Amino acid sequence: MNVKLNETPVRTSRNFQINNLKLDIDIPTKIKEFENIEIINQESKITKEIELNDLVYGNGEELEENNIKYSNNKIRIETKKEDIKLIYNFDDKNLELINQIEIIGNNDANIIIEYKSNTDKKCFHNGIIKTIAKENCKLNIVIVNLMNDKSNSFEAIENDILENAVVNYTIIDLGGKTSVTNYYSNILGVNASNDLKTIYLGKNEEIKDLNYIAELKGEKTNIDIDVQGVLDGNCKKNFKGTIDFKKGCKKAKGNENEFCLLLSDKAKSIALPMLLCTEDEVEGNHSTASGKVDNKSLFYIMSRGLSYKEAVKLIVKSNFNKIIDRILDEEIKKEVLEEIDRRLD
């Protein structure tokens, strides 16, 4: 099926090839319940009853409709103060996941959501994660995509962040032949804050499409987006980041930074960092940069006896380090580091 995904909130010239992502993909329907999932928690209330409203942006009409109609896993979490882990294990019997996760942040919580393939077969994931961070609550949410190299992964994320609430999001986007993320943050309450950090690593013919949109609506709200990526082979990456200062967000601040390390002269990196502003008492900054591995750093590390490949791995991991450190679960952190090594071999 030909689909148009991840539309930018504001269009620009069609010739720039960034307004949306066009793909020809198989979207499964009528699939059985996804069974291989581990839920690790103590006190938070976890149910299956979710009533999602239409997404503000999302991953396009077709995928949203597919998710609403054919969802084979739903999880609603009302947080208590604790660590929560959701691990979706794709295997030969569970190759397709169309899921919904709703997180109601009543209390501070650390939530890790991991998707990983324990199979070589092609997997499909079409997910929606909706978060409401209530007044004064602090949520640390980590998403880890370790799906295999044949898989397609589509994730649509939406946040409503209320007064004095803090949402720290970390997206570890390593897996999948195609990985598409739509992230929308509705930063509503006075002093509400959202910090989003992402790493991505693409290689071969993979496609990475990241569309991050933050709307600052409340006074003294804050958004901080930091994206660190590596591209190898013929991989193509689109990063679209929008910070939208809406009327009334007096004294709001928004920062956005993307750095893309290019390991191949065939890789393509497109970035569209947008600042939209209808309020004067704000501060908005964005920066993007691309380049290859610094020769001086390589020389220094290799002069200490490491091979070229080991040196590159070390540099990549040092770029990613401050983001990987946000994974509080040591086991998952180890899996992430091993996956980075594997993908750079």
Partner 1 sequence: MRTKVEDINRNIYDIKNKDNYEFKIKKGLSKEIVEEISKQKNDPDWMREIRLKALETYEKLDLPTWGPDLSELKMDNIATYVKPKSDLNSSWDDVPEDIKNTFDKLGIPEAEKKSLAGVGAQYDSEVVYHSIKEDLLKKGVIYTDMETAVKQYPEIVKEHFMKCVPINDHKFVALHAAVWSGGSFVYVPKGVKLDIPLQSYFRLNSPESGQFEHTLIIVDEGASLHFIEGCSAPKYNKVNLHAGCVELYVKDGAYLRYSTIENWSKNMMNLNTKKAIVGKNAQIDWVTGSFGSRVSMLYPMSILNGENAKTEYTGITFAGKGQNLDTGFKVIHNAKNTSSLVNSKSISKGGGSCTYRALVRVSENAKNSKCSVSCESLMLDDISRSDTIPVNDIRTDEVTFSHEAKIGKISDKEIFYLMSRGLSEEDAKAMIVRGFAYPISKELPVEYAVEMNNLINLELEGSIG
Asked if residue 336 lies in contact with residue 327, where contact means CB atoms within 8 angstroms, the answer is yes
Pick from 41, 136, 148, 264 the residue near partner 1 by CB under 8 A: 264
User: What are the structure tokens assigned to 79, written together?
Assistant: 């947080």
Q: What is the residue-wise DSSP string for 50-87?
A: --PPPPSSTT-HHHHHHHHHH--EEEEEE--SEEEEEE
User: Of 14-73, which residues contact partner 1 (CB under 8 A)?
Assistant: 14, 16-19
Q: What is the C-alpha to C-alpha distance for residues 146 and 37, in angstroms, rounded to an integer?
A: 15
Q: What is the C-alpha to C-alpha distance for residues 4 and 21, in angstroms, rounded to an integer?
A: 6
Question: Is residue 11 close enough to count as binding partner 1 by CB under 8 A?
Answer: yes
Encoded amino acid at 315, one letter: I
Q: What is the C-alpha to C-alpha distance for residues 25 and 73, in angstroms, rounded to an integer?
A: 21
Bridging pattern class, strands 222-231 and 178-187: unpaired
Pick from 24, 49, 54, 280 the residue near partner 1 by CB under 8 A: 280
Reference 140, options 105, 111, 104; nearest CA is: 111
Question: Is residue 272 close enough to count as binding partner 1 by CB under 8 A?
Answer: yes
Question: Is residue 283 close enough to count as binding partner 1 by CB under 8 A?
Answer: yes
Pick from 25, 270, 302, 337 the residue near partner 1 by CB under 8 A: 270
Question: Is residue 278 close enough to count as binding partner 1 by CB under 8 A?
Answer: yes
Question: Is residue 5 close enough to count as binding partner 1 by CB under 8 A?
Answer: no
Q: What are phi and psi of 157, to 5 degrees?
A: -120, 135
The C-alpha angle 240, 324, 197, rounded to 5 degrees, equals 25
Question: In the bound complex, what is the minimum distance in angstroms from residue 287's beta carbon to partner 1?
Answer: 4
Could you tell me which stretch among 64-72, 131-139, 210-218, 285-293 binds partner 1 (CB under 8 A)?
Answer: 285-293
Q: What is the residue-wise DSSP string for 130-148?
A: EEEE-TT-EEEEEEEEE--
Pick from 35, 43, 281, 338 the residue near partner 1 by CB under 8 A: 281
Question: In the bound complex, what is the minimum distance in angstroms from residue 74's beta carbon to partner 1?
Answer: 37
Q: Which residue has the tokens 């190299």?
A: 149
Question: Is residue 284 close enough to count as binding partner 1 by CB under 8 A?
Answer: yes
Reference 99, options 7, 33, 4, 3; nearest CA is: 33
Could you tell me which stretch among 26-34, 138-146, 218-226, 284-292 binds partner 1 (CB under 8 A)?
Answer: 284-292
Reference 86, options 110, 68, 64, 69; nearest CA is: 110
Q: What is the C-alpha to C-alpha distance for residues 88 and 108, in angstroms, rounded to an integer?
A: 23
Question: In the bound complex, what is the minimum distance in angstroms from residue 213's beta carbon to partner 1?
Answer: 13
Q: SS3 of 105, please? A: strand
Q: What is the C-alpha to C-alpha distance for residues 66 and 74, in angstroms, rounded to an integer?
A: 14
User: Of 289-328, which residues contact partner 1 (CB under 8 A)?
Assistant: 289-292
Nearer to partner 1, 124 or 245 (CB): 245
Nearer to partner 1, 4 or 74 (CB): 4
Pick from 271, 311, 323, 340 the residue near partner 1 by CB under 8 A: 271
Pick from 47, 285, 318, 321 the residue near partner 1 by CB under 8 A: 285
Question: In the bound complex, what is the minimum distance in angstroms from residue 4's beta carbon to partner 1?
Answer: 13
Question: Is residue 219 close enough to count as binding partner 1 by CB under 8 A?
Answer: no
User: What are the structure tokens assigned to 312, written together?
Assistant: 């590159």
Question: Is residue 288 close enough to count as binding partner 1 by CB under 8 A?
Answer: yes
Alpha-carbon Rg for the chain, nearest whole angstrom, is 19
Nearer to partner 1, 93 or 266 (CB): 266
Nearer to partner 1, 11 or 309 (CB): 11
Question: Is residue 235 close enough to count as binding partner 1 by CB under 8 A?
Answer: no
Nearer to partner 1, 128 or 262 (CB): 262
Question: In the bound complex, what is the minimum distance in angstroms from residue 265's beta carbon to partner 1?
Answer: 5
Q: What is the C-alpha to C-alpha distance for residues 69 and 71, in angstroms, rounded to an integer?
A: 6
Nearer to partner 1, 239 or 320 (CB): 239
Binding site for partner 1 (CB under 8 A): 10-14, 16-19, 245, 247, 260, 262-292
